[in-house]
Structure 1
Amino acid sequence: MSTPSTPSAPSTPAAPSTPPAAPVGDDPLSRERAHLAASRAALRAMRADVESLDIRDVTANWVNAQALERQIAERVKALADLDGTPLFFGRLDYLHAPGVDRAEGAEGERPRPEAAYQTLHIGRRHVHDADGDPMVIDWRAPVAQPFYRASRKDPMDVALRRRFGYTGGDLTAYEDEHLSDPAEAEVAGRLLQQEIERPRVGPMRDIVATIQPEQDEIVRSGLSGTVCVQGGPGTGKTAVGLHRVAYLLYAHRERLARTGTLVVGPNRSFLHYIEQVLPALGELTVRQATVDDLVAHVEVRGADDADAAAVKGDARMAEVLRRALYAHVTMPTEAVVVVRGSRRWRVPAYEVEGIVRELLERGIRYGAAREALPQRIAHAVLVQMERAGEAPDGRVQNAVARTGAVKAAVKGIWPAVDPARLVLRLLADADFLAAHADGILTAQEQKAILWTRPARSVKSAKWSSADAVLIDEAADLIERTPSLGHVVLDEAQDLSPMQYRAVGRRCTTGSATVLGDLAQGTTPWATRSWREALAHLGKPDAVVEELTAGFRVPTDVIAYASRLLPHIAPGLAPVRSVRENPGFFEVREVTGAGDVVGACRELLRREGSVGLIAADARVPGLAEALTAAGIGHLGPGEETTRETRLTLVPASLAKGLEYDHVVLDEPRAVVDGEPDERTGLRRLYVALTRAVSGLIVTHAAPLPPQLA
């Protein structure tokens, strides 16, 4: 997660950054402040209009009334003027009114007074005045797209692009780019760079003011297609994914209101970190969850070793489960005899077998086929009735399907199966597993996943996270999992093939945005290629985009971390930092925890958040040292404040998080804390790239040779 780079368009010096005051005079900054004040007043009026709605006489019943009240409450919340958040962050001056053919006005090619341009202010949400005329344009509107894409090479009919500087929610400066003036020199935008490098305290913020052209292309890609974004640390992939959700909700609101949207993250700490981004953009209905949340059919109380987890996460387990499930279907050996009144109707065993085989060949869900079987048998009875001269209708067929004889036949042929019980039997019964894993799993793999102490019941079993995914797969084989309209899957490189399948079946009729970095995979089953992962997700035709420009991590830090790439992801292009501010970077040899605490104290004198990242086993000792030194600290997922800006982060939870300044404790311990060296080096790569402004690496043990 990060922010984007500087634009390649010219800029003029920004106005002095002075405290905002009431508009005086006729200078541009005063006029912009006046427009900001008027826009805020208009937003308050819009909110008041919604709050004053009287729905007592417009709803048919209390159910409709409650639904409408909930919609109104959400609308009121979405219209809030958030403290510290600018209502608009940019402005476009078009040469022609948007939508008008450029050829209509030849004078459009000549410089004109500012008042002659079609001026639009770009912000996080739409604001209109009492007459319905727009005062602020939603950044997602098509007319706002040139704010992100226009350049001197292709000005897109824009004469001027203006960016604003803010302190809190107050306008303090502006900076102009005259895109249609060939005499303008091309220089970097200072306000844009300052916004990118602004210190952060608290949860992740949106990047709506700084989205770059390559990011905007992904954000505005269509709902029907799935996009996979490969991006190294600091390239903004998480922010791009979240802003794509916001854009899709704007462009396809009614459709996604029916089908739903979901953001899937790696852990609760990560979801807490990003949870304010979409609400800040006015989107309040997007659900956020981990994969474990999605497959929570049973209580997870156990854990697998690496070998067992790798086998359970392998896509081959899907076929093992399918075999085990359909092994419950047995062919009939006796006819089905239905008694109605004085007549007996007999469906021969061979005819029932034909019905069963037809259902199997159709490949429909186990549960759907089981529900169809009694109706098919009843239909066979109705055919006999018609041949005998009777005239049965649908009610008779339903009655026959509910008879005891048909129910008993279905129970014996196609019994109901509980998905958790099915997985329990596979993991506890060696013979049952061997029968259905034959030719799929080796004997050693079967042994790895068998429980040494089989549980007697579903409730008493110590299920692992991987077991829950297997149960979810079995449940989908029985009953189709409901599909959402769009799913964002972040930090996807750490998912197993079976976890990809679990997410994929929740967007079978929808689309997805897949975000990740192959170099940051830290699980034994980490993704080796996006094409393979997308096939498991059920989206083999997805477009793969790569972001290589780094906006968050300073040049020296990413260069140091990139020394690990040849060892963890050969062939992957290193991130190219575009930061103007190089930040600071230091590798410091220490003698103990006191020196690590001293480094934290040193960084706390600077502005912004501080993260102390350490191998999981070293976290308790460092926590004691910080407490003894009187330095307050938080854990991952807890929101930093101005008073408490230090977070103590186990290396296993650092992925996806970011801090202005980082102290990385004992790199060798981070590597040694993982099952193998390659995974350990990937974990170290993640930890090294969490810093936005500066990094101090402290070590007493020798550094890993790969960093030399």
Structure 2
Amino acid sequence: MTTTDSALRHTLDRERAHHARCRTALAGMVDGADEQVVIGENASASGADAEVLGYQLRSQAKALHELPEGPLFFGRLDFAAGEHRALHIGRLRISEHPAEPPLVVDWRAPVSRAFYQASARDPQGVTVRRRFGWAPGSRGDSTDLTGLEDEHLDRGESRASEIVAREIERPRVGPMRDIAATIQPEQDDLVRGDLAVSVCVQGAPGTGKTAVGLHRAAYLLYTHPQRIRRGGLLILGPNRTFLSYISEVLPALGETGVRQSTLRDEIARHPVKGTDEARAAAVKHDGRMAEVLRRALYARVGRGPGISGPLAVPDGSYRWRVSEERLLRILTGVRAEEPPYAVGRERVRTRVVQMILEQAERRGGPPGAAWLQKISRSRAVGAYVDAVWPRVRPEEVVAELLMDPGVLAEAAEGVLDADEQKALLWAVPPRSWKSARWSAADLVLLDEVAGLIEHPQQYGHVVVDEAQDLSPMECRAIARRAVFGSMTVLGDLAQGTTPWAARSWRTVLGQLGKPDAVVVPLTLGFRVPRAVLELANRLLERVDVEVPAALPRKRGDPQLRGDGELRFREAGGDLPGAVVGAVRDALGREGSVGVVAADGEVGRVREALAAAGIETEGADEMGARVAVVPASVVKGLEYDHVVAVEPAAIVEGEEHEERGLRRLYVVVTRAVAGLEVVHGRPLPW
């Protein structure tokens, strides 16, 4: 629809006035939340109730205070009839009074779904869908509202949004932004999926799978606040660089109480000080290690000294006795129930005491609770339990397994062959577990044993990004934390770069304990331009994994990425100089620049840029204009312009060529506007 300039100005003035009213109302909400905290602290209530109330009020006030500055709405829906005639859609609900109609409706509210799903074919009661254009980098001043688009669905209008296209393609420096204003229908279906249903998103580069996972987390917190907060919500990323990159998305959506972590941080019983040979790491991450560790732990049961014969428990001048046969029956029964190790230990104690209690009741009637506690804590019962079901630390189990060939051989019989067992053994064993230098793979083993002893903290929902790189043992560590919760699993099999990278989502989902999770492919590349995707898809043909290729934008469709730029620069014997030239060219364009090189080349590249007077930062510096990033940590990040340095070296940085090609596939698909490949050697495609 085309409007006259005067009509457009009049409409913009009205919308700017509404935004100013929303800004005033939000300030009132913040002040009101602070006032409620004070009132809540002075409320007359029991200690527990006051604590819960105070926590809730403080959390609400904290969330409002931490909202990033920016426009308060990005869309509007006009309805033909019904309770709502016109609704503004934004990142959180804004009202002047809780009992009054909202000035802005949260994008997650059910009524807001029509903003993403309504069409000319199915208007869902919407007559007009309006999108607002804001000045880039707006901090939320009403004067920054610079344009709007109206789509008259009641008249059968259906057109791609130029505002959405500009937002998707807008250059960005710094952390990842939310996509609440640009969510596409297929993404919206995933975001609003049922909490009880686990879902796996196979997302090609640039399809927004990470954004979908984060927005799904925000949606679940909004829709099921009690259920999710009771269990907690955990977001697992591949590394801390990635977590820094996504750190501002959920706060921008009004959610600040979500734990964002890496799996290593979640299982870190000790700092990582050791390293493994490739063969040892592969065996430690193999799913068969779960059975080896289970055997090693439970080998301690029923093997202690002095466990034969009956048990005699002094009680004053009397001795209660439990026969060896009954003790064996107790031990066998508890083992057959397969409880967590610590639970099993207490069950043995409880059942021994129960047998003594039955004797006491027959002899003189039921004794009191004090007597039961005395018998349970008696030295004889404690010594027996310690002998047949000893207390143990995960570190003791794993260290003994990796230090003692005999213990390992017994636990691994029929599971690991001799070469695999040899690879596991520490070349220079420490004196004890206390002086062990644990590797990253050892932490996974320790967590497995810890999970056999006691169940870890459970989460109501877990979002796992870059899941294709998880090993079977890492999957088990995550599964233990979501036994009763659901998962959103995100990844791209083509981007798997670890030695144990998955080739099938069904395998991964089974290891995560969610075998029935639905696998949904996202193939439309919103962020990566056509030229880059075509190059990436050539690499994909050489990778042994079956995934649908990413689809570039269709010509004439402004809602998807344009063709972008793909350039090649031959170094001619001066690779550092060629990199400097490529970076200078990239700096002549708008947006961020990522210089990605093989890990061993990063230092040389950074030195060359510094010598040329180009200031650079590492991947963790989210506000940097130019970042020099090792190929091993670039996964999940994106830059407007990527300078890929010596692709052949990136491929050779991996032990196997296919993994190297996958790594290169990751590198080239980090570009969202332009890619320049700098090389002095033949290209590997």
- TM-score w.r.t. length of structure 2: 0.94
What amino acid maps onto 1:27 in structure 2? Answer: H
Q: Distance in 1 between matches of 2:538 and 2:272?
A: 38
Number of residue pairs matched? 665
Equivalent residue for 2:478, pick from 503, 527, 539: 503
Deviation per CA, 1:345-402: give whole Å up to 9, x if none.
Answer: 2100110010011100111111001012112111111112223343324443332111
Which of 85, 98, 117 lines up with 2:70 in the alignment? 85
Partners in 2 of 1:701 and 1:343 — Cα distance?
Answer: 88
Q: How far is 1:86 from its partner? A: 1.4
Is this contact kept in 1: 2:493–2:545, CA < 8 A? no
Which residue of 2 is the match for residue 126 of structure 1? 93
Q: Does 1:604 align with 2:587?
A: yes
Amino acid at match of 1:179: L
Q: Which amino acid aligns with 1:91?
A: R
1:614 matched residue in structure 2: 597
- Establish whether residue 342 from structure 1 lines up as the match of residue 327 from structure 2: no
Q: What's 2:569 paired with?
A: 588
Aligned-pair distance for 1:13? 5.1
How far did residue 673 of structure 1 move?
A: 0.7
Q: Helix, strand or coil: the match of 1:388?
A: helix
Instruction: Point out where structure 2 has 5 or more consecutive residues left out of the alignment.
Output: 554-559
Q: 1:408 aligns with which of 364, 369, 383?
A: 383
Q: Distance in 2 between matches of 1:14 and 1:248?
A: 39
1:175 partner amino acid = E
Percent identity over the alignment is 52
1:304 shift after superposition: 1.3
In structure 1, give the amino acid aligned to 2:88: H
Residue matched to 2:634: 654
User: CA separation of 1:369/1:194 partners in 2, compared to 1, >3 Å: closer, same or farther?
Assistant: same
Residue 670 of structure 1 is matched in structure 2 by 650
Are 2:534 and 1:559 equivalent residues in the alignment? yes
| One-letter amino acid of the structure 1 residue matched with residue 94 of structure 2 | V
Q: Report the residue type matching 2:29 in the other structure.
A: M
Question: Relative to structure 2, which stretch is displaced further, 164-173 or 431-440?
Answer: 164-173
Please state whether the residue corresponding to 2:484 is helix, strand or coil: coil
| Displacement after TM superposition at 1:458 (Å) | 2.2
Alignment-mate amino acid for residue 258 of structure 2: V
Q: Kindly indicate whether the alpha-carbon contact (under 8 Å) linking 2:132 and 2:163 is maintained by their aligned counterparts in 1.
A: yes
Write the letter of the residue equivalent to 1:367: A
Verify: 1:324 aligned to 2:296, yes or no. Answer: yes
Runs of 4+ deviating beyond 3 Å: 12-16, 23-26, 59-74, 80-84
Find the partner of 1:138 among 74, 81, 106: 106
Unaligned runs of 5+ in 1: 1-11, 17-22, 99-116
Whichever residue aligns with residue 126 of structure 1, its letter is R
Deviations 1:490-523 (A, max 9, x none): 0111110100111111111111111000000000
Q: Is the 8 A contact 2:526 2:561 kept in 1?
A: no
Q: Aligned with 1:128: secondary structure?
A: coil
Task: Decide which moves more: 38-47 or 126-135.
Answer: 126-135
Greater CA drift, 55-64 or 32-41: 55-64
AA aligned to 2:613 is G
SS at match of 2:129: strand
Preserved contact between residue 378 and residue 398 of structure 1 (Cα < 8 Å) = no
Matched letter for residue 315 of structure 1: G
Separation (CA, whole Å) in 2 of partners of 1:252 and 1:447: 50
Larger CA deviation: 84-93 vs 668-677: 84-93
Which residue identity is paired with 2:150?
A: D
Secondary structure, counterpart of 2:153 in structure 1: coil
Contact between 1:13 and 1:175, CA under 8 Å: does it hold in 2? no
RMSD across aligned positions (CA):
1.9
Aligned residue in 1 for 2:19: 36
Partner of residue 182 from structure 2, selected from 194, 210, 223: 210
| Alpha-carbon shift at residue 469 of structure 1 (Å) | 0.7
Q: Determine the C-alpha separation between the residues in 2 that align with 1:380 and 1:43.
A: 66
Q: Does 1:176 align with 2:158?
A: no
Q: What is the Cα deviation at residue 63 of structure 1?
A: 7.9
**Residue in 1 aligned with 2:668?**
688
CA distance in 1, matches of 2:633, 2:145: 37
Q: Distance in 2 between matches of 1:668 and 1:165?
A: 43
CA contact (8 A) 2:267 2:447 kept: yes
Per the alignment, in what secondary structure is the counterpart of residue 525 of structure 1?
A: coil
Aligned residue type for 2:205:
P
User: What is the alpha-carbon distance in structure 2 between the residues aligned to residue 556 and residue 335 of structure 1?
Assistant: 79
SS at match of 1:513: strand
The amino acid that maps onto 2:73 is: F
Change (3 A) 1:274 1:76: same
Distance 1:154 1:202 in 2: 38
CA spacing shift, 1:268–1:375, aligned 2, 3 Å: same
AA matched with 2:658: R
Contact 1:15–1:173 (CA<8 Å) still a contact in 2?
Answer: no
TM normalised by structure 1 equals 0.91
Distance 1:318 1:383 in 2: 39
Q: How far does residue 73 in structure 1 lie from its aligned partner after superposition?
A: 4.0
Work out whether residues 462 and 482 of structure 2, in 8 Å CA contact, stay in contact via their aligned partners in 1.
Answer: yes
How far the C-alpha of 1:52 sits from its partner, in A, is 2.4
Alpha-carbon distance change, 329 to 308 in structure 1, aligned in 2, over 3 angstroms? same
Any conservation in 2 of the 1:96–1:118 contact (CA below 8 Å)? yes
1:598 Cα deviation from its structure 2 partner: 0.9
Q: Which of 405, 413, 425 matches 2:400?
A: 425
Change (3 A) 1:14 1:559: farther
Opposite residue 626 of structure 2, the aligned amino acid is: L
- Specify the SS of the correspondent of 1:680: helix
Give yes or no for contact 1:14–1:191 (8 Å, CA) kept in 2: no
Equivalent position of 1:279 in the other structure: 251
Q: Does 1:75 align with 2:71?
A: no
Structure 1 SS opposite 2:116: helix
Pick from 346, 349, 357 the counterpart of residue 371 of structure 1.
346
Distance between the aligned counterparts of 2:2 and 2:309, measured in 1?
Answer: 90
Deviation at 1:572, TM superposition (A): 1.7
Secondary structure of residue in 1 paired with 2:309: coil
